[in-house]
Structure 1
Amino acid sequence: MHKREGFTLIELLVVIAIIALLMAILMPALQRVKKQARTVACLTKLKQWALYFSMYAEDHDGYFMEGWQGRSGADDNNRWVRAMGAYYKWDSDLTCCPEATQPWFTENGTPTGLRGTFRGSTSAWGYYGPGTAHQRLGWLKPMRGSYGINGSCNNPEPELSASGTFETNHWRSPNVKGAGYVPLFLGGQRYNFWPQHTDPPPEFDGQVWEGSTNMARVCLNRHKGFVNGIFLDFSARKIGLKELWKLKWHRKSNTAGPWTLAGGVRPSDWPGWLRPFKDY
């Protein structure tokens, strides 16, 4: 009987080359599928948050929490992280978008080097809370997250809010006209933000925001030109990055401001990284 010979070296090299070619073809597709899965998982989490916010308002006579209004100390209890702890059970998995889980600081306060970098859009705020270098009074445990609240969706005391806008501009309750155009809770670099329709766009994805623009806290390319969020009517959807300038962040937001098509923005006005995305 003739004994079968093994593969020759050339045949083995051909097989390896074919496998490598198939991997090169399939890997981008697999990466796209994984990103799509994380986008779906993010929206699923946000729908859960919509339920939490609805329950909170129902349990508090139709109103939201006071929120942070520029005062130190006990007002940490009024931030959503603390105020809603009983609803989400202090689960830091629920506070993180699946695309953004690595915090700015370790629990002992050591910077991770992510904040304000090109990787900033995929990083999480925190760790903040008891036992960390970034204390938050009233928080039950160190927390990280990559979602945040529209700071105008709070129920502050009279006078000025932290954003410098009068408290009459706030959406204190979900029971308002046009609730489907008011962003409530969405992906962000910070657990709170006060975007204005005049805010310039960040120069790069993940740019740090201090002294520049609150819009940089939410204008993050986490989902291929979109950021996920829920609105005051508790609906959840993808939001185009340039669409952020058309939303009704507070009662006096101009939805036809200078960074919208209606306001006269030109494609060349946008930083390079934002130009390929849909205009609004």
Structure 2
Amino acid sequence: MRKRSGFTLIELLVVIAIIALLMAILMPALSRVRKQAQSVACMARLKSWGLIFKFYSDDYNGSFNPGWGVGETTLWQNALRPYYKDQWQLLLCPTATRIDQFGQEGTFMAQTRTLATPGGGSQEYAFSYGINSWTNHMKADRGDRSVEWFWKTTEQTGQYNIPVFADSTWHDAWPRHTDAPIQFPWDFGGGDTGTTGEINHFAIDRHNGWVNFLFMDWSVRRVGLKEIWTLKWHKAFDVNGPYTRAGGMQPSDWPAWLVKYKEY
């Protein structure tokens, strides 16, 4: 009788161990590739938003939407809706599509908000991008936010450094050069804080130390986490402020989670 051939138990265990080892080697590489692909897709979506903002501003004599100057009906989700035509996926970074179920913003989570619409109804929006609210076409001061600080229109010098739209934990924010970085990447809640800390809506480690931004010249590029404090958020924003290298910020001054990233 012919002896049956096959794996012995030892041989089978060796094969399983080799497969497990290969998986351990390959999985981090595959994860990096997936994240890189998501970042590229995110930048492509921001390119689409560049066209959407341009179409809107072209139709309104170079102006941005009024935003909170009028109310919920003129926030970007509503004002730009005729241009993105219910392509809801555009409101979400591919890295941040999971809706936060706990009511507080996280690094990668998407948010939802129900807003009044121009037709008198309401619409629930899910989003993981946010607008620089200093672009709004405001006609009066909003609290301690001077109307003179707002960009209002696209006809500005230095457009390449003026952020319009980006990865965010909330749908809008009003950054200031005095906004201190948060001590931990997960301890900043959403909504309008009024006066402080709003830059942290954008200072999120969603893309391995980078944040994807759309600028006023409609270009899209990735921005370093610390570089965010050097962007020209509003007309009076000091790009050499206290949280920049030019303003005296030292590497050791940053919160622990930000120390390893490039200085600007």
Structure 1 residue corresponding to 2:125, chosen from 107, 119, 143: 143
Pick from 186, 191, 216 the counterpart of residue 232 of structure 1.
Answer: 216
Which amino acid in structure 2 is aligned with residue 242 of structure 1? K
Tell me, in whole angstroms, the C-alpha distance in 1 between the residues paired with 2:103 and 2:43: 24
Tell whether the 8 Å contact from 1:187 to 1:229 is kept in structure 2 after alignment: yes
Q: Counterpart of 2:213 in 1: which secondary structure?
A: strand
Q: How does 1:1-280 map to 2 (within 5 A)?
A: 2-69=2-69, 75-104=71-100, 112-113=101-102, 115-116=104-105, 120-126=106-112, 128-129=113-114, 135-138=115-118, 141-157=123-139, 159-161=140-142, 164-209=144-189, 210=193, 212-280=196-264
- d(CA) in 2 for partners of 1:225, 1:97: 16
What letter is aligned with 1:161? R
C-alpha distance after superposition, 1:135-185 (max 9, x if no partner): 53446531110111101111112x2035x2211211111121000010000
What is the number of equivalent residue pairs in this alignment?
258
Report the secondary structure of 1:262's partner residue. Answer: coil
In structure 2, C-alpha distance between the alignment counterparts of 1:256 and 1:13, rounded to whole Å: 61
The Cα RMSD (Å) is 1.7
**Where in structure 1 are there 5+ consecutive unaligned residues?**
105-111, 130-134
Sequence identity (%): 43
Pair 1:247–1:223, CA change in 2 (3 A):
same
* DSSP-derived class of the 1:24 partner: helix
Unaligned segments of structure 2, at least 5 residues: none
More helix by share: 2
Deviations 1:12-50 (A, max 9, x none): 011000000000000000000000010001000000000
Which deviations, in whole Å up to 9, do the C-alpha atoms of 1:59-107 show, x marking residues without a partner?
11111111113xxxx6111101100010111332110111112223xxx
TM-score (norm. length: structure 2) = 0.93
The one-letter code matched in structure 2 to 1:101 is T
C-alpha distance in 2 between matches for 1:45 and 1:7: 51
TM-score (norm 1): 0.88
- Which residue does 1:132 correspond to in 2? none
Contact 1:66–1:154 (Cα < 8 Å) also in 2? yes
